[in-house]
Amino acid sequence: MKKQTNKNKFNPVKNMKHGDGATRFLWIFGILFILVVGRALMLGGGVTGGVPTRPVQLSFSDVLRRADDIETMDIRGRNASGTLKDGTKYTATIDYDPQLLERFSTAGATVSIDDSKGVMDHILMWFPLAFGLLFIWWIFRGLRGPSGGMGRSLMNQNPTKITTGKPKTTFRDVAGIDSEKQELSEIVDFLKNKDKYKELGARVPRGVLLSGEPGTGKTLLARAIAGEANVPFFATSGSDFSGIIVGLGVAKIKEIFEMAKRNAPCILFIDEIDAIGQRRSAHSFNDQDREQTLNQLLIEMDGFANDTGIIVIGATNRPDMLDSALLRPGRFDRQVYIDLPDMSGRRAILSLYAQRMKISPDVNLNDLARGTTGFSGADLENLLNESALHAVRNGRAEISPIDVEEARDKIIMGPRKLRKMRPEDIKLTAYHEAGHAFVSVIYSDVTDPIHKATIIPRGRALGMVQHLPIDDKVSMTLAEVRAQLSVALAGRASEQVFFGSDKITTGAESDIATATRLARYSITTAGLSERVGLPAVTQVSQFGTRGALENPSDKTAEMVDAEIRAWLDAAYKDAVKLLTKNRATVERLAQELLERETLTGEEIQEIVSGKKQGAKKTTKKAPTKKETKSNAKKSN
C-alpha cells in the first residue's frame, strides 16, 4: 500500500490564505509570547545539583532582627534575596531605605542592588505597545487595502438591506383607499408615458410623501405603484442609513442612488424617512452625521443632476417632524395623507382579505365593517386572522360569526380573563352595564344602535356595552354630544341608584375619562358652549396634532373647567333621573345579564320595551360561564 505523505498536516501559519497578514502576525506573536513567558518562568527558580532548593521566607521584621546573621543581600525593587552566614538561602520583602542598607553593610553583609529590567519587565512594557501598533497597522491596512479596504468591506455588508425587483403587487391588491389610488395613478402614467408630459413641458414629480396612521397601507401602496408601472423597485428604511461610523450614511445614500440611476426609470422607497429627515435646528450640533446624511439626500433628490428618472417615495407616521427643505416642490412634490378607511373602505378591505380565507356565508361583512370604526387595513387583516385562529382552535372548517365576534372583542377589549370574581362584584358590574344599555336605548334616536352588552371580563374591563354605527360620522350635534355624555355616565349613575352613594366604585374610570375628553373638545375646540363662546382655547396635545390657537388666560381656563364640570353634572343628573324613573326595567335588564352574561342589541330592545321577556335567545357562552353563573346566583 502506498504510504500517505504528510502534506495535509495542519500548520496554523502555512495553511492561512495568502494576504491574511494580520492573522498570521497574531499567530506568530502569540507563539513567541508563550515561549518567552515560559522561558522566564523557568528561569525564575534555581536548581542546585539537580535538586530544587526552597529558600526561607523572612518577614521585614525578621530581616531587621537578624541583620547580623545576613551574609549577602541582593535587592531588586522591594524584593530581597541572599544567604545567611550559616548558608541558608532566604527571600524577603523590604522597604527600600539607604539608612537600612548602611546598617546591613556595617553588620558585615554584602549588599548589591540590581536596577536592570528582567524579561517579564520588558514583556509587560512592550506587549501593550506592540499590540497597539498591530491594531493601528490592521486599521490602515484595511483602509488602504484592495477593493476599497475596510470602508468598502463595511459597505459590502449592505446595512441598508435594499430590497430589489419588480413587485407583482398592483392596485387590485389595494382596497379601501380609492381617492389615494387615484392621486397616485398619475405617477404610474408618468413612468409609462414620460414623453407626452415632456412635450407639454411638464416636469415629472421627483418624490411622493405618503403619511398617515400606522397600518393604513403606505408600504403596500408604494409596491403597487411599482407593480403597475412595471419598473424596478428599491426599498429601504431611514434607520438603515445611520451607523456608528461617521460618514457611512452619506456613502450609503450615494450608493443607493447610484444603483437606482443604473436602473432608471425606477422607484426608490424609503420607509420611516423621518429617521434621517428630521427638522434641522440651531441646537442640533451634536448630530452632525444625521444632518450630513439629510444634506446628501436633499442633493440627490434635487441637486445639479436633473431628470434622473428616479421617483422617491417616502413613508412616515410623523410628517410634522420632517425638514422643510425636504418637503418643498422639486423634492417631495406630492404629499398624500392616507386616512383610516371609512365604512365602505373597510367593507372593501374585508372583502379583499376574505377571498383568501374560508368564511361562512353567515358572516355579514357589512355589519363587521360597521362595527370596526377606527380600524386600519392592518387591523382588519389581523381581525380576520384572529377569527381564523379561533375557528381552528374550536375545530371548525370555516370562519363563523362566533369566531369573528370573539376576535373583535379580543382586539377591542383584550383577551378573556379567567378570573374568579366576588359575587358582589359580578352583580355590581351587571347593574353598571345595564345602566349604560338602558340609557343607550332611550337615546337611540341620536346615538348609534346598541350592538350588545356583556359582563364577561376582558383585559382591564369587567364588562362592556358595544354600539354598531350605521355610518361614519364626520361631526356631532349638540344633542348627540349631551346624549353621549349621559350614556357614558349612566354606569356610575346605576351604581348610585341601586346600591347607594357609598357603594359606588372605581369601575367607571374609563367612562369618566371618555366623558371628560368629549366635553372638553366640545367646549374648547368645537365652540358648542354658550358660556365660553366661539374662541378656540384648545390645549396642545402630546404630538402637536392639535395645537393651541390661543393661549387661554387664567380666567378663561377657570371658566372652561367650570363649564366642563357643569356639562358632566347635568349629564349625570339626567342619567340618574332616567334610571330612577325606570328602575324596574333596568333591574330586569341587570338580572338577564347576570343569568346570561351577554345580551344582543335585539334582546336589550325587547327587555326595555317589555316584549317577549320570557323568550331566551341563544347567545355565545364563555368558557367560565358555569362558575360565573353560580357566583351570580349566590349574589341574589
Which three cell numbers mark 285? 450640533
Closest CA to 153 of 163, 161, 143: 143
Q: Which residues contact 609 (CB under 8 A, 6 or more apart)?
A: none
Distance CA 441, CA 450 (A): 7
Distance of CA 534 to the CA centre of its chain: 40
3-state secondary structure of 623: coil
- Per DSSP (E only), the strands in 418-544 are 450-454, 464-467
Q: Cell 387583516: give the residue.
A: 381
Distances from the Cα of 407 to the Cαs of 233, 351, 402, 415, 458, in angstroms?
Answer: 36, 17, 9, 9, 12
Q: Which helix (H) or strand (E) holds 439?
A: helix 423-442
Distance CA 177, CA 210 (A): 13
CB atoms within 10 A of CB 168: 10
CB atoms within 10 A of CB 273: 31
One DSSP character per residue, 553-617 reads PHHHHHHHHHHHHHHHHHHHHHHHHHHHHTHHHHHHHHHHHHHHSEEEHHHHHHHHHT-SSS---
Q: Residue 345, exposed/middle/buried by CB under 10 A (0-12, 13-18, 19+)?
A: buried
Closest CA to 161 of 251, 252, 226: 252
Residue 225, Ramachandran bin (φ over 0: left; ψ between -120 and 50: alpha; else beta): alpha
Give the 3-state secondary structure percentages of the chain, helix then strand then coil, rounded to 5: 50, 10, 35
Q: Contact at 8 Å (CB) between 269 and 225?
A: no
Q: Residue 628, exposed/middle/buried by CB under 10 A (0-12, 13-18, 19+)?
A: buried
CB atoms within 10 A of CB 33: 14
Active site residues: 433
Distance CA 92, CA 175 (A): 89
Distance CA 11, CA 57 (A): 46
CB atoms within 10 A of CB 191: 20
Closest CA to 634 of 432, 445, 427, 433: 427
Crossing angle of the two packed helices 377-393 and 401-413, in degrees rounded to 10: 120
